[in-house]
């Protein structure tokens, strides 16, 4: 049995076994109470699952929305059936599954929802200490970009607020069936030491999103819907010039 890749689900099945093993090896459980709880997002035909199940240091669950993929996984990994959720990851209540226990996330993320997956991770920053994911190369570069880089944006700031980002390696189009039109990349997010944002979280997110939604404008102009009094030290800057700490400071200064 083979699973048909469905364009509307953004499916490109990884077939390169060496790449799969490198991704799984990037899930570093050092410092975790073992076995570490791990959730695989979008296992497809189980190219990562097969190697994850061989690791004694993790307790694996997976979530897959595609019925055909779920049938394939149940047929080929019968002992894993009870740990497989046929659901939409974006709608899944992760707190209910893990009861506030820490858990890691890994996956070859569907291209069409990769950003949404990371926004969901942000909703669980206190529960998710580690994420290893394969995404489009440009998305990985954007997430890992430092302040001052032209690709630095909303996800860069929001994720770097809570995580240290590592761009691990690039994956070519030929590693997938069907091959995508772009290169992919594997990134790793490790929870940093920040425990308190130091400003109002909702306001911080609004400032970051509003600023980057008009990224060509200076902050004085882009943030007018939030405040008419952007502090002078920030007023003539553009959003990509601000570090996470500067966005926090700006949020506190806006009246």
The predicted model gives 28-50 an average pLDDT of: 95
Question: Residue 89 pLDDT > 70, yes or no?
Answer: yes
Is pLDDT of 8 > 80? no
Helix axes 201-213, 244-253, angle to 10 degrees: 110
Angle at the Cα of 189 (from 187 to 192), degrees rounded to 5? Answer: 155
Helix 154-162 to helix 201-213 angle (10° resolution) is 150
Q: How confident is the model at residue 1 (pLDDT cuts 50, 70, 90)?
A: low
- CA distance linking residue 159 with residue 213, whole number of Å: 17
Contacts of 66 (CB under 8 A, 6+ apart): 3, 6, 9, 11, 44
Round to whole Å and give the CA distance between 136 and 167.
12
Structural class in CATH, domain 7-191: alpha beta
Does 7-191 match 201-253 in CATH topology?
no
197 closest CA partner among 226, 160, 165, 172? 160
Among 10, 39, 61, CA closest to 106: 39
**pLDDT attached to residue 13:** 86
Q: How far is CA 28 from the centre of its chain?
A: 16
- Please say if the pLDDT value at position 182 is more than 80: yes
Average pLDDT estimate for 191-207: 96
Class of domain 201-253 as given by CATH: mainly alpha
Residue extents of the structural domains in the chain: 7-191, 201-253
| Average pLDDT of the residues in 173-194 | 95
pTM over 0.85: yes
Instruction: Assess contact for 254 and 226: CB atoms under 8 A.
Output: yes
Percent of the chain with pLDDT over 90: 89
C-beta separation of 107 from 134 below 8 A: yes
């Amino acid at each position: 049995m083979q699973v048909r890749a469905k364009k509307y689900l953004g499916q490109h099945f990884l077939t390169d076994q060496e790449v799969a093993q490198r991704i799984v090896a990037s899930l570093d459980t050092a410092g975790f109470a073992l076995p570490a709880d791990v959730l695989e997002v979008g296992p497809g035909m189980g190219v990562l699952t097969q190697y994850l199940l061989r690791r004694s240091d993790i307790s694996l669950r997976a979530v897959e929305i595609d019925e055909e993929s779920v049938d394939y996984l149940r047929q080929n990994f019968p002992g894993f059936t009870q740990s497989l959720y046929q659901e939409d990851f974006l709608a899944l209540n992760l707190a209910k599954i893990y009861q506030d226990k820490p858990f890691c996330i890994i996956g070859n993320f569907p291209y069409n929802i990769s950003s949404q997956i990371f926004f969901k991770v942000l909703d669980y920053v206190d529960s998710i200490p580690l994420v290893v994911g394969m995404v489009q190369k440009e998305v990985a570069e954007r997430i890992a970009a430092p302040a001052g880089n032209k690709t630095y944006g909303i996800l860069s700031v929001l994720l770097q607020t809570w995580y240290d980002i590592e761009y691990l390696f690039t994956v070519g189009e030929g590693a997938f069936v069907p091959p995508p039109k772009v290169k992919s990349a594997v990134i790793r997010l490790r929870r940093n030491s920040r425990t308190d944002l130091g400003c109002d979280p909702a306001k911080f997110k609004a400032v970051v999103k509003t600023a980057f939604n008009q990224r060509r404008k200076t902050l004085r102009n882009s943030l007018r819907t939030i405040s008419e009094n952007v502090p002078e030290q920030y007023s003539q800057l553009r959003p990509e010039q601000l570090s996470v700490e500067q966005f926090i400071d700006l949020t506190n200064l806006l009246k």
